[in-house]
Amino acid sequence: MAKKRTITSKTEQHEKKVQRKMAEQLAEKIGTSPEEIESGLKGFIEKSSESLGGMELKPPYRRPSWYDDFFSLIQERTIDNFSLEFIRLNIVSGSEAYKLRAGLRFLGLIDEKGHPTSKLAGLRVTGENFKKNLAKVISEAYSDLFNAVIIEKAKSESVINFMIEKYGYSRPLAEEATTLFAYFCSKAGIPISKELSDFQITRRESIRTTTPKKEIRMREKITPAVRYDETFAVLESDIFSFAVKKELSAIELAREQVNSLLDYWKKKLTEESTNK
């Protein structure tokens, strides 16, 4: 499998310039320096990571192809840290990087700081040893599901309902989580029912053939869920999620950063679409 092309240093420099410009614009509005804005944003991200690190880990969802790429990558080289930046540059871009990183944490392959665990080291091997080690990882991560449902005879609906009831997933997210679970089992050689296997194949094929416009129209009907704790408000749906500290300055900063980032990626994706 060919290695993914990383973003060039030129692109990285452009992104840094965009971030600096956003900091300058916000600094001018609230009467401070760009350096203070950048420092505050860095501290906000670090505190957000610490706060969210204590939250309940949930089964991963979205695309099995991310994990295909991840497994190939760790078998090709040793990675010291799976930071969001590393994931964006080498596996999956944009906000999707958060979902993959959360999925790796749920599986116990990285810790809250992104460092590989001993479980990940066991997946650097190939062949039957890889399948054996992955089976152990999946059995431990999804132990609640294995205890609740007889996977060898399970209907896909049973697993979907488990994801909804235990983790509070919407139906679309529960279906994606079920697809990934079946994918992991198949890759690890864990026996699953024919219905679960067929469900996984059908869903993966659907992901490949669904056009972006159709996918967006389907997901626009889903109402994002809002969760609160003493410090943060978290907004999430099946296509995006973010946390913001419940302070006026933090909310203003988040609004500016999110809007600028969305404008940047909209422009970039439009250019890529035009050049095809």
Domain extents for the chain? 18-54+224-270, 64-209
Residue 236: beta bridge partners? 225, 241
SS3 169: coil
Q: Tens digits of per-residue pLDDT, 189-223?
A: 999 999 998 888 777 665 554 434 433 333 444 44
Output the six-digit token pair for 153. Answer: 């005879």
CB 43 within 8 A of CB 129: no
Distance CA 31, CA 13 (A): 26
Q: Which pLDDT score is estimated for 128?
A: 94
Q: Which pLDDT score is estimated for 183?
A: 94
SS3 222: coil
Q: Tens digits of per-residue pLDDT, 31-87?
A: 677 777 767 666 555 555 444 444 578 999 988 999 999 999 999 999 999 998 899
Number of helices (H), then strands (E), belonging to the chain: the values are 13, 3
The answer for residues whose C-beta is within 8 angstroms of residue 270's C-beta and 6 or more apart is: none
Q: Which pLDDT score is estimated for 262?
A: 73
Query: What's the mean per-residue pLDDT of the chain?
Result: 78
Q: What is the DSSP string of 94-138?
A: TTHHHHHHHHHHHTTSB-TTS-B-HHHHTTSS-HHHHHHHHHHHH
Q: Of the ranges 32-36, 125-129, 142-146, 155-159, which one carries the lowest mean pLDDT score?
A: 32-36
Distance CA 107, CA 122 (A): 13
Distance CA 16, CA 22 (A): 10
